Structure 1
Amino acid sequence: MFQFRRMKKKSKPEVNMTPLVDVILQLVIFFMVTTTFISIETGAQVNLPTAEFSQLGEAKTLTVTITEDNRLFINGSFVTWEDFPNLLVVELRKEPGATVVIEADKNVLHGRVVQVMDILKRAGAQKMAIATRPPEKE
């Protein structure tokens, strides 16, 4: 005859979280690797003077910055006026023939820029350029 089978209790449905966590983790890694990072330059903020024409080739450059309050920076690193000539010689030996770009705030006295140019020449700089920004178009 017929036998009745006892039905097993069905367990509650579960969602396996392991694959979901794996996918989320891989998405986070993907976005971290492909994100473009904006580099924020620390150092001196300089308000450059404007000029109609400025040109600098793709040559090696060394940047000397003079801020409005007469602080000096070499490639974005602060230096004292006393250490400036010695550090300049070291940097110029690393990059022989480099063009030294002077970024002087437009409010820096002309005499200060000439003083820096004189120190550059004594340190062995062969080529110098003064950084400007293009005029704003109206």
Structure 2
Amino acid sequence: MRKLVRIPRRKPLEEAEIIVIPMIDVMMFLLFFYMVASLAMVIQAGLPVNLPKASTASNHSSQNITITIQRDGATFLNTTPTPLNRLADALRALHVTDKDLVIINADKDVLHGVVVEAMDQARQAGVTQFAIAAVK
């Protein structure tokens, strides 16, 4: 006598789905992480000087053009030594526009007239936006 073995019928498999929302969350996290990390890697182009303190100072680290005036009166455009009377020509050589921000990075013991002369030279080159560097 033969016995019949019944094999239960399988349920049909559900179709696999890709859940997109966790993937979007991970991609947004990576995007923000790399944006913040890239901001931390930008280095200011100026030379170190003894900056004055200001309670409202902010950290600007992503600017391209820095005019540094040291205590002894030496003037630098980014890191290149530039005489104060040749600063406008050097800025024109960098092709500055009125949208560029120039940071004045002057030592706290530099005379005010020297800073004004540097700003005047930059204005002659077409610069209209300035920032004065300070530390908190």
Deviation, 1:105, is 0.2
- Runs (5+) with no aligned partner, structure 1: 1-40
| Separation of aligned partners in 2, 1:106 and 1:129 | 15
1:99–1:45 distance in 2 versus 1, CA, 3 Å? same
CA offsets, 1:22-79, max 9 Å, x none? xxxxxxxxxxxxxxxxxxx997431000000123667643100000001011111111
- Runs (5+) with no aligned partner, structure 2: 1-43
CA offsets, 1:91-136, max 9 Å, x none? 2x156621000000000001111111111111100210000011xx
1:55 pairs with 52, 58, 63, which one? 58
CA offsets, 1:80-100, max 9 Å, x none? 234222101122x15662100
Counterpart of 2:13 in structure 1 is: none
Counterpart of 1:102 in structure 2 is: 104
Root-mean-square deviation over aligned CA pairs: 2.6
2:49 pairs with 43, 46, 50, which one? 46
Q: Percent identity?
A: 33
TM-score normalised per structure 2: 0.59
Counterpart of 2:68 in structure 1 is: 65
TM-score normalised per structure 1: 0.58
Count of matched residue pairs: 93
| Separation of aligned partners in 1, 2:56 and 2:108 | 16
